[in-house]
Amino acid sequence: MRPSITLAGIIIIIAVLFTGCISEKSGGPSLPAAIDTLTPPATPVTPSVPGTGVPLITPGVADISIQASPLKYSPIMSSTVGIGLTPQYNGTGPVVYSWNASYGNFVGWSATDSHITQYNNQIDTTDPTIYWSYSPDDMGKEKPPVTIRLTVLTPPRAHGGNGTIAWKDLHISWEQNDTAVVSQKPCGIQNCHGMEISCGPDVAEICTMEYQLGDKCRSLASCQNINGSCTVVRQEGYARCASCVEACNKTAGGNTSFAFECESRC
């Protein structure tokens, strides 16, 4: 009897263990092993080595103006096809000149072969000069003031688009209804006394009766619009006068009366 009980107990124990194994598998697939999270490598930092760095250069502000010639135009003129517009740009590298006019149209003209190309009121070009004109059919009609805008752009990139570098406006008014006149800002001497001459739109209209050393030479200088910029223009004799006054001032050694007397002989 005792051996048979032992065998039955062994059979029951094996059955329980077997049943437990089956129930564990029937509970679903085992979970996959966890994936390790990879820490991205840090961006390499180039060590600072004295003498090998390239200094950053801040680009200067692009200076742009428009030179216009002639300053007056009418379609009845035979000497030109319009008002010639030439960009005055101090930048480097290739650029595109984008022109836009609120009235009228642009004209391409080659003086060598007299070839004329008519454009509308907007054109992008790399040519140094373009002309503005208006239809002879509008002569005798009232015409609006004209604004011409020049925008300097970088050449189109491979992926498209241009970058604006600078822009400038030029204004045209009308004289006797049909003659277009390029409007220019006032240009004159802005200060009243001394050797230093400041040119600009804030023209000095009222000056004191005070006399300062060097005022004698100022009659030989003026301010004029040149290439779209108000610039001081010195006549022949100005340099000689200025040099003489400076010598008088140096010789006077602070003696104002002697300096003025000396200047009178310059």
CATH number of the domain that 156 lies in?
2.60.40
pTM listed for this prediction: 0.54
The string of DSSP letters for 54-90 reads: PPP-PPPPPPEEEEEESSEE-TT-SS-SSEEEEEEE-
Q: Quick one: pLDDT at residue 39?
A: 38
- Cβ atoms < 10 Å from Cβ of 166: 18
Do 75 and 89 have their domain in common? yes
pLDDT exceeds 60 at position 16 = no
* Higher pLDDT pick, 201 / 47: 201
Do 168 and 205 have their domain in common? no
Can you tell me the mean pLDDT for 89-94? 83
Do 196 and 167 have their domain in common? no
Is the residue at 10 inside a domain? no
Closest by CA to 124, choosing from 150, 94, 90, 93, is 150
pLDDT exceeds 80 at position 153 = yes
Which residues span the domain enclosing 215? 188-263
Do 68 and 175 have their domain in common? yes
Q: Quick one: pLDDT at residue 161?
A: 56
Is the residue at 228 inside a domain? yes
Q: Report the number of distinct structural domains present in the chain.
A: 2
* Higher pLDDT pick, 49 / 191: 191
Do 87 and 171 have their domain in common? yes
Tell me the pLDDT tens digit for each residue of 68-79.
Answer: 999 999 999 988
Domain end marker among 150, 182, 214: 182
